[in-house]
Structure formats: structure tokens, C-alpha cells
Amino acid sequence: MGLTVNGADMFDAAEREGGPHYLCITTNGVVEHDKLTMGRGAAADAKRLFPWIPVRAGQVIKGLFPNQTTVETVTRSRVVRYELVEFSDDDAEHPDRFFAMVQTKLDWRDPSPPELVQASLARLGKKAEGCPHIKFHLNYPAIGLGGLPLEMVQPWVEALPDNVRVYRKSTGAYNRSQP
């Protein structure tokens, strides 16, 4: 059962805990100009701390789905369903830090589809089960800007393995700016 940590910042907690770990960031499926849109919530926090992440995530997603687009190509935007993508940190000082983009929305402007959240968390759970020696740090998915009720998401979070830490900030703690 995944451990929920209330009132803590997952980025600080992961660094304090040390050792091999994944920073799992809830995201959407909009890739614009080869960058994953990361303008609100935990995604904005991640972008502030790691400015290179939108480009890297966009490259990985684009590489997985080079021809999939559901938005006018004139805008050079893509809305992609990927559920979970991962990549390593290129920072030589942090060889044990990895990133996972956990998709909880298709378009950042829309609420989180419950089926997508459940599928993405199931994929994260399988990844974590296969790496029991690695800690996974995840912001609580879809209950803030995603608009889903806690009662709906909680069973999916509780089904995550023990090496997954789920962080829930207090209301209003996330960046509410537009991307």
C-alpha cells in the first residue's frame, strides 16, 4: 500500500531521503513546440526546479508517438495519451535520480478522466513493483487541478506498492498560474 504523506514537499523529501529514486510528476498530454506543457500544479513546480524537463519530456513523448496528433497542426500542438514516460536525470551530481511523467489529463484545460488516472497509476504501480529497491515520490494525483474527488482516487493510490510515497499539499499550495 502506497504511503501518503500530508503537508510535505515531494521534491524536498526525495532529496532528503537520498538513494535511487523517481520523482513522479502528474502531467497532461499537450506537447507544444516539442515541449510538454507544464504550467500548473506539481508540473509547474517541477519545471521551476528543473527547467529542462518540458523539453526532455516532450522529446520522449514525441519519440513514442511521432504521428499522433489531435490538435490542429497549424498550432504545432499534440495531445497524446502516454500514461507513463520515464527518463534519467542527466545531472552527473544526481545519477540515482530519475523522472516519471504520470499522465492524469489529456488536455491541461480539461478535468482528469478517471479511467486515464487509474490506468496511469496502474502502470506506475507495475514499474514500482519491478524496482522494489527504488523509492517513487508522487504528488497526489488528480484531486487538485484535475477535479476528481479524493474518495474516487484514494483506492487507486492505496493500491500502489510500499515503495511509492504520495505527497498531498494543503489546498492552494500549488501554482495556479496559466501555462
pLDDT tens per residue across span 39-90: 999 999 999 999 999 999 988 888 887 765 544 333 445 677 888 888 888 7
Q: What was the pLDDT predicted at 80? A: 78
Predicted TM-score (pTM) of this structure:
0.85
The mean pLDDT of the chain is 84
Residue 176 has pLDDT above 50, yes or no: no
pLDDT-derived band of residue 177, with 50, 70 and 90 as boundaries? very low
**CATH code, residues 3-168:** 3.40.220.10
| CA dihedral angle for residue 61, residue 53, residue 122, residue 169, rounded to 10 degrees | -150
> Which helix (H) or strand (E) is 99 found in, with range?
strand 97-103
